[in-house]
Amino acid sequence: MRSAQNEKRETERLVLVDGNAILHRAYHALPPLTTRSGELVNAVYGFSTMLLKILEDLKPKYLAVAFDTPKPNFRHQEFIGYQAKRKKMDAELSQQIERVRQLVNVLNIPVFEAEGYEADDVIGTLARQAVECLNNKECSSFEVLIVTGDRDLMQLVNDEVKLFMPSRGLSEGQIIGEKEVKERMGVEPQKIIDYKALVGDQSDNYPGVLGIGPKTAISLLEQFGTLDEIYSHLDQIENRNIVEKLREGKESSFLSRKLAAIVTSAPVNLELNKCLASDYDKEKVISFFKELGFRSLISRIGGKTEKKEDRQQSLF
C-alpha cells in the first residue's frame, strides 16, 4: 500500500470495502492455514490483514463493508445466462464467510447488503449518497475510496470517488483515479458501461456485440462518445463490416449495458456517524485473534505481545 501512504491527502476519507472481492483475493493469495483445532482460516487471516492495512495506511475516518447476498439479483432475471459460467464458490472458502462476518462485527464495522442487488450496487449507492452529502454541504469534506479488485467499479470513479486496488496479493496497491482508469481501460470511467456493452464481459457472461473487440470499441467511443450516439450515426462508420455487426448485435449491446451498469439506488442508507473507523473494543478483537491463532496481528491493534515461548507456539 505504498502508493496510498505516499498520496497527499488533505481531506478525510470514507473507505468502502468490496467484501466479496477482498474475501476472494485473500483466499487465493494465501496457502491453506488452519487453527490448532483444524479450522481452515486463510481467507479470514487475509481479510483481517487487509482491514488492518486499511486502518493503518489509508487512515479512514469512516469505514464500511459491503457484501453480496446468496440469492440471485435482478441481473439474473434480466438475462438467464448472467454469471452462468462462473465456478461455484469453493467449499473451503464458503465455510470461512461466517468467521469473516464475525471479524467485521468485532471491529464494529457496519455491513451493508441488499437482497436482489450485488455488493457493487450497494457500494455505488453509498458512494452516491456520500457525494450528495458533500455537494449539499451537509457533511465536512472527505473523499470516497473503494477498496476492491473488481474493475467493474471503475465506472464509479470521479472527482470525489477513487478506487484502491490491492496488488501483489494483499501487500501493496494503487489508488485509481480518472487518469488511471483511462490508462487501464482505454476509456473514461463514464464510458465503461458503453465499452462493456460493445465488448461484453466474459466473467459475467454477457455477450456485447459479437465481433467487436476492445480496439474497435475504444475507437468508436472516441469518435461518437456513447453507445446511443454510435447507433445514431451508423451511416458515418466507413467500415461496413463493423456496421453490420453493430446492427446484428444492437439488442444484445443495450442489454449488456444494462447488466454492466452499477445501480446507485439500492435500498441502503449511509449514516456516517455509525461508520466511524477504529471505534471498536480492542479486547474483543484481541480475544477473536487469539481464538483463531492470529497472534501476530495483536500488536498491530496495540495489544501486548506474548512471551517468547508463547510466540513460538502461535500459528501466524
For 226, the domain range is 189-260
Q: What is the pLDDT of residue 135?
A: 83
Q: What is the pLDDT of residue 139?
A: 79
DSSP state of 99: H
Euclidean distance between CA atoms 55 and 21, whole angstroms: 18
Kindly report the CATH number assigned to the domain that includes residue 89: 3.40.50.1010
Residue 93 and residue 23 in contact, taking contact as beta carbons nearer than 8 Å = yes
Is residue 90 a part of any domain in this protein?
A: yes
Flag whether pLDDT at 119 surpasses 50. Answer: yes
Measured in Å, how far apart are the chain's first and last C-alpha atoms? 21
Is residue 302 a part of any domain in this protein?
A: yes
Average of pLDDT values for 21-48?
A: 95
Same domain? 152 vs 32? yes
Mean pLDDT of the chain: 91
Flag whether pLDDT at 170 surpasses 70. Answer: no
Same domain? 95 vs 225? no
Same domain? 222 vs 274? no
Average of pLDDT values for 154-175?
A: 89
Which CB contacts under 8 angstroms, 24+ apart, belong to 290-297? 292/35, 292/39, 292/41, 292/44, 292/45, 292/99, 293/35, 293/36, 293/41, 294/41, 294/45, 294/48, 297/48, 297/49, 297/52
Residue 249 and residue 210 in contact, taking contact as beta carbons nearer than 8 Å = yes
Same domain? 200 vs 177? no
Same domain? 254 vs 139? no
Number of domains in the chain: 2
Flag whether pLDDT at 308 surpasses 90. Answer: no
Same domain? 130 vs 234? no
Distance of CA 233 to the CA centre of its chain: 35
Which of 127-131, 135-139, 268-272, 294-298 shows the lowest per-residue confidence on average (mean pLDDT)? 135-139
Full-model pTM = 0.91
Q: What is the pLDDT of residue 293?
A: 94
**Model confidence pLDDT, tens digit, residues 130-144:** 999 988 877 778 899
Same domain? 106 vs 235? no
Question: What string of DSSP letters covers 267-303?
Answer: S----GGG-BTT-S-HHHHHHHHHHHT-GGGGGGGTP
Residue 18 and residue 66 in contact, taking contact as beta carbons nearer than 8 Å = yes
Residues 6 or more apart whose Cβ sits within 8 Å of residue 70: none
Same domain? 10 vs 63? yes
Same domain? 22 vs 121? yes
Domain boundary among 221, 245, 260: 260
Same domain? 62 vs 194? no
DSSP state of 68: -
Same domain? 55 vs 112? yes
Average of pLDDT values for 86-103?
A: 94
> pLDDT confidence of 301, banded at 50, 70, 90?
confident
